[in-house]
């Protein structure tokens, strides 16, 4: 694959969206071609699935329905947007990808990692991010940021409405994943200043860009 696939992960309110956007902006300034996208979401079908998944009226949604909807969104997104972009040499920055499934549906909803491996491989065709940043911080702080930033006309969504114990399991899930894939997953302190985190992310990415795009007119 010619492009670079970068993902951002973490609990609610960890600051990943801010960092993903900052990175996209910075790389565009440096003249790289960037696709900034998110999961669940991206292409229109996946955005429709996102609406279903986050709608807090659907309190009866079973965890199996939930995981298959995340996978449905992911397969459309991967096939329609991510793979074609990577093939063209574009840098894809995705706000969440499959690590969220392991943390939310695996660690928190207790669907086995073996089952997730199986369906995720079908949804992604085996695609893996080149690098993943997990922004880590205590759940109480993340959730209080969510409350503070919530759009009053919408309120918090179905997943944000889960209890603190659920979000604690999600956090532990991300940290466990990071331990098992030290090469790919970088954990950063989500309580650091926005600029400090951005600087650390850039120092990881700069070296990768040099290796991936050296001598190429990709930019």
User: Where on the chain is the footprint of ligand TMP (CB under 6 A)?
Assistant: 12, 38-40, 70, 95-96, 100-101, 104-105, 159
For ligand TMP, give the closer residue by CB, 70 or 81.
70
For ligand TMP, give the closer residue by CB, 89 or 129.
129
What's the DSSP call for residue 104? I
* CB-based contact 20:93 (threshold 8 Å): yes
CB of 25 to ligand TMP, least distance (A): 19
**φ and ψ at residue 136, rounded to 5 degrees:** -110, 140
CB of 179 to ligand TMP, least distance (A): 20
- Please name the residue ranges forming H helices in 94-193: 98-100, 113-124, 139-149, 164-180
User: Cα(103)–Cα(175) distance, rounded to whole angstroms?
Assistant: 9
* CB-based contact 7:97 (threshold 8 Å): yes
For ligand TMP, give the closer residue by CB, 157 or 192.
157
For ligand TMP, give the closer residue by CB, 42 or 89.
42
CB of 70 to ligand TMP, least distance (A): 4
CB of 107 to ligand TMP, least distance (A): 11
User: Cα(12)–Cα(170) distance, rounded to whole angstroms?
Assistant: 9
């Amino acid at each position: 694959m010619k492009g670079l696939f970068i993902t951002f992960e973490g609990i609610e309110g960890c600051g990943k969206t801010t960092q993903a956007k900052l990175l996209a902006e910075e790389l565009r300034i440096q003249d790289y071609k960037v696709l900034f996208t998110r999961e669940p979401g991206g292409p229109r079908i996946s955005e429709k699935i996102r609406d279903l998944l986050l709608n807090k009226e659907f309190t009866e949604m079973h965890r199996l329905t939930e995981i298959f909807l995340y996978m449905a969104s992911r397969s459309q997104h991967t096939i329609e947007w991510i793979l074609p972009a990577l093939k063209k040499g574009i840098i894809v920055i995705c706000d969440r990808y499959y690590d969220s499934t392991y943390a939310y549906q695996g660690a928190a909803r207790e669907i086995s990692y073996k089952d997730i491996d199986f369906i995720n491989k079908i949804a992604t065709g085996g695609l893996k991010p080149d690098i993943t940043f997990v922004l880590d911080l205590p759940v109480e702080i993340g959730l209080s940021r969510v409350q503070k930033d919530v759009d009053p006309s919408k309120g918090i969504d179905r997943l944000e409405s889960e209890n603190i114990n659920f979000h604690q399991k999600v956090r532990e899930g991300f940290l466990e994943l990071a331990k098992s894939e030290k090469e790919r997953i970088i954990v950063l302190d989500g309580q650091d200043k926005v600029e400090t985190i951005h600087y650390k992310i850039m120092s990881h990415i700069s070296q990768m860009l040099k290796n991936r795009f050296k001598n190429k007119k990709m930019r």
